[in-house]
Amino acid sequence: MPLALLALALGTFGIGTTEFVIMGLLPEVADGLGVSVSEAGHLISAYAAGVVVGAPLLAGATVKLPRRTVLMSLMGVFALGNLASAIAPEIGSLMAIRFLTGLPHGAFFGAASVAAASMVGRDRRATAVSRVFLGLTIANVVGVPLGTLLGQAAGWRATFGVVGVIGLVAVAGIAAFVPAAAPAATGKGALRSEVATLRHPQVVLSLAAVVFGFGAMFACYSYVTPMLTEVGGFSTATVTLLLAVVGLGMTAGSVLGGRAADRAPMATLYVCLLALAGVLVSFVVTVHHPVLAILSLFGAGMFSLALGPAIQTRILDLVGDAPTMASAAIQSASNIANSLGAWLGGMVIAAGLGYLAPTIVGATLAVVGLAVLMLSGGLEVRGRRRSAAVEAPERELVPA
């Protein structure tokens, strides 16, 4: 199992690297293709659009296929997309390739999470899922900085080429170590059951919590550099190290969040969202103090990524035998969160409220996410009480 999880984590490492490294390589890409930085920035949106569109579509299309085959195929498409990006001749073709490369992103995360959870007992599912997500967090600590340095030294095409090779190695690892498993669902009603999970009120509420919860982090993280330099007075070189602190927090959150979610997924979600709101609000003060700023950045990364394993476990508990599309939809929701958080954060800055205003926006989004989850939890408790009330008279009628 450890090697199987490592193979899946290598895949998420490659995905995390290619998703975020483009942000650090926009000047090089723009120069290399003869376009403006703002035009090159559309490559970020193209990839995100691919994730949002591809997650439910590919998850649904592959639901009747063997899970290992699905994982290998999705990672193979991802690897080829990055290799194609390395030789794209102009911005139009690169944008189309980035969109196509983003298509398997969400479906892979969904299938990998389900595969990891199926390899362990029920009491260790969140821990197994957190190991898969660990690849994504390590990508922010190691993959993105090294990918950026490689792109600056050897050209941006080299970075995409290396990520493509990582994808191919992940395909080989999945083939060698991930156990052969039956399709996620079988029978004529399989796809209908998967689609039905997306209409489940509790699943909808859980996905909404993802949008608000992760949106809280992205509202702040998207503008953390000007916050640190213009308000906190940190140098540009120091900011690079501070961003690594955020990545370390994310790594810790992925591990600790998985362990906590195995014991109490809903409680973990409540605590993380409340703590995230508190950390973001406090950043208005702590950004002016180096040690406190480091602690705040670490805490923001930790509490935001601890949400991942917990919400994944929550979804698995809700959907039962039809987990694939709902699990993949989490990635669509997180990319919507990325766009929503960045947009709202930029809007308050444009309104003249200052570079720290996005932290208040982020805290507000976290509180909204907490309220959504509390509504979800309240409805669940009410449903259990109602079921117990219905069953009680029936038990009384059963002869002793």
Name the residue with higher pLDDT: 140 or 153: 153
- pLDDT at residue 158, rounded to an integer: 95
User: Helix, strand, coil shares of the chain as percentages rounded to 5?
Assistant: 85, 0, 15
Q: How confident is the model at residue 349 (pLDDT cuts 50, 70, 90)?
A: confident
Q: How confident is the model at residue 148 (pLDDT cuts 50, 70, 90)?
A: confident
Q: What is the mean pLDDT of residues 317-342?
A: 76
In DSSP notation, 314-329 reads HHHHHHTT--HHHHHH
Q: What is the mean pLDDT of residues 248-271?
A: 86
Work out the mean pLDDT of the chain and round it to a whole number.
84
Residue with tokens 């480091």: 294
Identify the CA nearest to 48 among candidates 8, 83, 15.
15
DSSP state of 139: I
Convert the pLDDT of each residue in 150-169 to its tens digit: 988 899 999 999 999 999 99
Q: What is the mean pLDDT of residues 52-59?
A: 83
Token pair of 76 as six digits = 């193979």
Q: What is the mean pLDDT of residues 165-186?
A: 82
Convert the pLDDT of each residue in 5-24 to its tens digit: 899 999 999 998 998 788 77
Identify the CA nearest to 330 among candidates 338, 174, 346.
338
| Measured distance CA(296)–CA(307) in Å, rounded | 17
Check if the beta carbon of residue 113 is closer than 8 Å to that of residue 30.
no
Q: Please provide the distance, in angstroms rounded to a whole number, between the alpha carbons at the two ends of the chain.
A: 48
In this predicted structure, the answer to whether residue 234 has a pLDDT above a threshold of 80 is: yes
Q: How many CB atoms lie within 10 A of CB 238?
A: 14
Check if the beta carbon of residue 302 is closer than 8 Å to that of residue 26.
no
Token pair of 363 as six digits = 């805290």
Name the residue with higher pLDDT: 145 or 297: 297
Amino acid letter for position 396? E
Angle at 250 between CA 249 and CA 251, to 5 degrees: 90
Token pair of 51 as six digits = 């994730």
Q: Which domains does the chain have, with CATH numbers?
A: 1-181 (1.20.1250.20), 189-391 (1.20.1250.20)
Q: Characterise 182 by phi-psi region: left (phi > 0), alpha (psi -120 to 50), beta (else).
A: beta
- pLDDT at residue 186, rounded to an integer: 53
In DSSP notation, 246-262 reads HHHHHHHHHHHHHHHHH
Report pTM.
0.74
Cα–chain-centroid distance for residue 90? Answer: 29
Residue with tokens 């990006």: 85
Highest mean pLDDT out of 125-139, 266-280, 297-311, 316-330: 266-280
Q: What is the mean pLDDT of residues 121-127?
A: 76
Angle at 53 between CA 175 and CA 88, to 5 degrees: 70
Identify the CA nearest to 81 among candidates 37, 51, 110.
51
Q: How confident is the model at residue 323 (pLDDT cuts 50, 70, 90)?
A: low
Instruction: Count Cβ atoms within 10 A of the Cβ of residue 79 and give its class: 0-12 exposed, 13-18 middle, 19 or more buried.
Output: buried
